[in-house]
Chain A
Amino acid sequence: MEWTFWMAPGLLAVSFVTALLIFPLDEEQVRLRTALNLGGATLKLILVGVMAWGILTGHEFEARLSFVGELELVLRLDYLSLLFIVLSAILWFLTTVYAVGYLEQSPHRSRFFGFFSLCVTATMGIALAGNLVTFFVFYELLTVVTYPLVVHRGTGEALEGGRVYLLYTLTGGTVLLLGIAWLHSLTGPVEFVTGGQLADLAVERPATLRLIFLLIVGGLGVKAAIFPLHGWLPIAMVAPAPVSALLHAVAVVKAGAFGIVRVIFDVYGIEVADGLGLLAPLSLAAAVTILYGSVRALAQDDLKRLLAFSTVSQISYVALGVSLLGPVATAGGLVHLLHQGMMKVTLFFCAGILSETLGIHRVSEMRGVGRRMPLTMAAFTVAGFGMIGVPPVAGFISKWYLGLGALEAGQEWVVPLLALSGALNATYFLPIIGAAWFRSPEADWAEFDGPETDWMLLFPALATALLSLAAGVMAGLPFSPLWLTSFAVTEIHGP
């Protein structure tokens, strides 16, 4: 068989084998475990690099495996998958470094990193899934393997968080499965094809297709934390910081958003979805969620909860972008998949550093912390500005394209929405940043010598902050997120 057949399964296998090797290790085998972790993450980066080069030079990566009856499990790389795997591979590498530093003394590290790697495997599967059933298989797998990570601390609060997390996501998964099975009974296997394959059915049975869309997007909306299905996200914050970073930036929330993107572009097709009148309600739901998340974030004092509500708000930019018609809005939504990931992961890294090094969990405790930890807070500031949409950080690019796209699509109402949301973001991020830099510290932090914290924690935060900045400054250059997105947009809307 061709080497191109093996690349996509290989990418999954790298993380999977890493997990299998890590599980049986003893707690004390720190070096071996770290070597396996970083080795796996590095190998994955290389493979993703090869695949990115391959698809840009016209190779096709596809692997099919017969599953049940006429169903197949399909892994295929297209430009949408490319966005997701590039994001995952880079952030995964950095999060692994961070997690190794973060969990230095905590128990059950082998179990933690085993499930951590399984989590990557599932995410890669979601990214590369070439049909709806394959997508579902990995989507549910992700739910299962993140559960032990969420409850990792094993406290009553953690277990409660895990319980709520499962209640939401498994119910969502069930609704999703109902929709998928119903759709299959009408059409047979549903491949992801740009433009979808439902045009004929949309004429025959529009009402059924609308209901199925509601089931599928409703199921996906749980992970994508669309209001009012977002309830699990703030509660799942009990997880250790690297896990939260992962859930918000790359894995769970992104899986939901990515699923919605797939369904609109590759299952229904944007024209059919629009023709059935499905996009306007979705954009409305996204708009409500954007405002709701920001308003709730205003009232939070717990830093991680604040960031969680911020995610609720930010992730809906993706849904908003893809539900407005037109290539520019699509670009804005898709590029935000990447931008939000980089910025949010930075914020969580910083929150984790603050809690690990100084024991700071609350916004009100952050006064003057900039003097104690200038590098950490610099990273936080960059990412926070990005969330608000201040140029030249990446978030600005997303919002700019979303706004332009909305105007192009004749949806003027989106522009004030973006402005309002930006203002709300500023209302909760600017006071934090201001207080951290310009107020005098209340707490008596011990004087430090040497670096402000463990470099394994600091380096990933700085790296993602720099990436967020670079993605904004160099948006027009090749290899920027926007540049990668342009291929997907061309694929969807034509040149």
Chain B
Amino acid sequence: MIVTMVLLPFLGGCLAFLLRRTAPFVAVLGAASVAATAAMLAVGVWRSGPRIYAIGGWGAPIGIELVADGLSAIMLLTSAVVVLAVSVYSIGYHEHDDSDAWHPGEGFWPLALILWGALNVLFLSADVFNLYVALELMTLAAVGLVVLSGGEAALMAAMRYALAAFAASMMYLLGVAILYGAYGRLDLDGLATVVSPEPAAFVAAALIGGALLLKTALFPLHFWLPRAHAAAPAPVSALLSSLVVTGSFYLFLRLWTGVFSTIAVPAAGQFVGALGAGAILWGSLQALRQQHLKVMIAYSTVAQVGYLFLPIPLLTSAATTPDGALLWGIDAWNGGIYHAISHALAKAAMFLAAGTIVHALGSDRIVGISGIARQLPITTYAFGIAGMTLIGLPPSGGFVAKWLLLSAAFASGQWWWAVVILAGGVLTAGYIFLVLGQELSLAGTDQPVELSKVPRSMEYAAFSLAVASLLLGLRVIEPIALLQAGLPFVEGG
């Protein structure tokens, strides 16, 4: 089952490359079957705990192992759902390219599927080198996807992105080399037991940590993100902002609470948290200033990435506080991951909705979208519901995440994170409702604007993702229970 999740996307990617016409259907079929597999895997992990698959029968430390615990399972499921919706959306999005000449759609399918395959490998890998390969492959595909829309802006944005991402890859690889030199092994579990506070480990941690912060675009290393995510075609923006960013955060979280848990000092945690707070404030303020819808949403990603890192200081102090900390440590863990998956769904929905608007209007200036609610009600609802999740309004997945993080912040005595979380929510509301207000506005729309026709499937794809992010706030027990499988605290402490 685990192998299917890795193989199918790659296989699909190759097929999509060969079968140009039928690529969309390959992708949708693949996404649907992987989503089903991921759901089965999630149920399996929830019922009977983490699963391990040793490739070729060789276990760690010699062979390569694929491990699916609760965190992996929920990430796999989330990305399968996002990819499924994005695929359905993209069929409509690329529909109008009927010419025989090469068009962006042809590049999109193979690259998107390979990106997704790399992501799945990332979620399942249990050794730092394999993770590197996955990360690198993901980056390559992502850069390729950004260039798809063509044009100078996209090219420049992609170059910038590529430079930042490859610099990060080098740092990561260097860190891995140092670890291997010092401890002679690469598997996560093994490393976690041998890494001790000494110079080599600190240098490796700094390199790897810095690399992942750069890839996740945590403030102030976010410089490459807004342009890259805004310049890409809408389905690509959705994949990048919801999944790629989450992927590198996932790796950071894994390593911080696993391999480096013995050397992660509270001060470092506070530092990362402070960067997160900076991201929330800076990203939101920038988003408020933007004139273009997609750039605004991209800055919103910069801000939301900040939330992802707020649990880090809490987790770090939970790991170093002997008793009574387990409960709020778990709250912080659940809250952070809940935020990651809610954000992934909501942000994908929002970019897809924005894409629909651009598709219909031919422009994404925020002032130009006045009254769009009249012509595209479903898209407007999608945007609004996704916005609720990002703001953290109940009942949405974002609210649950916010509540868990707030509880953890208060229980640990680190109330300042609570203030940051809440202030960020108000700022988010500011830019979300700025757009919603425009969409509902009827001022100056006496002559209705000529809109291109939008396939219904595009509107509903965005809408379903938005509703999924809302449902996460209504059924909380099952996802949270799933996350308890393979919790780093139980065995690690």
Contacts and interface: CB of A to CB of B under 8 A. Distances in A.
Contacts of B371: 154
Interface residues of B, number: 36
Which of B400, B403, B426 counts the most chain A CB atoms within 10 A? Answer: B403
Contacts of A108: 374
Contact of B410 (A66, A154, A181): A181
Contacts of A451: none
Contacts of A107: 374, 442
B411 interface: yes
B393 A171 contact: no
Interface stretch (B20-28, B71-79, B112-120, B433-441): B433-441
B407 interface: yes
Interface string A411-437: 000000000000000000000000000
Given A68-B476, A140-B393, A154-B440, A178 B422 contact: yes
A170 interface: yes
Contacts of A68: 400, 403-404, 476, 480
Interface string B5-44: 0000000000000000000000000000000000000000
A178 B418 contact: yes
Interface in B416-466: 418-419, 422-423, 425-426, 429, 433, 436-437, 440-443
Which of A108, A177, A184 counts the most chain B CB atoms within 10 A? Answer: A177
B437 A181 contact: no
Contacts of B373: 111
B433 A166 contact: yes
A295 to B, nearest CB: 31
B388 interface: yes
A153 interface: yes
A486 B399 CA distance: 37
A111 B384 CA distance: 14
B150 interface: no
B331 A69 contact: yes
Contacts of A143: 393
A254 to B, nearest CB: 19
A111 B377 contact: yes
Nearest to B433: A166
A177 B422 contact: yes
A69 B480 CA distance: 8
B437 A159 contact: yes
A67 interface: yes
Interface string A78-97: 00000000000000000000
B330 to A, nearest CB: 9
Which of A108, A148, A156, A181 counts the most chain B CB atoms within 10 A? Answer: A181
A185 interface: yes
A133 B388 CA distance: 17
A181 B440 contact: no
Contacts of B403: 68, 71, 133, 181
B259 to A, nearest CB: 28
B437 A184 contact: no
Which of A68, A108, A170, A178 counts the most chain B CB atoms within 10 A? Answer: A68
B394 A136 contact: yes
Which of B373, B395, B415 counts the most chain A CB atoms within 10 A? Answer: B395
Nearest to A110: B377
Contacts of B400: 68
A68 B437 CA distance: 32
Contact of A162 (B394, B419, B437): B437
23 contacts: A68-B404, A68-B480, A69-B404, A69-B480, A71-B403, A111-B373, A141-B393, A141-B394, A143-B393, A144-B393, A148-B440, A151-B440, A154-B371, A156-B443, A162-B437, A174-B423, A174-B425, A177-B406, A181-B410, A182-B418, A184-B410, A185-B407, A185-B411
Given A147-B433, A151-B437, A177-B406, 14 more contacts: A67-B476, A69-B480, A107-B442, A140-B394, A143-B393, A144-B393, A154-B441, A155-B443, A162-B433, A170-B429, A178-B406, A181-B406, A184-B407, A185-B410
The 10 A-B pairs with the shortest beta carbon distances in the complex, nearest first, are A154-B442, A185-B410, A137-B394, A181-B406, A174-B422, A156-B443, A159-B437, A170-B429, A68-B476, A140-B394
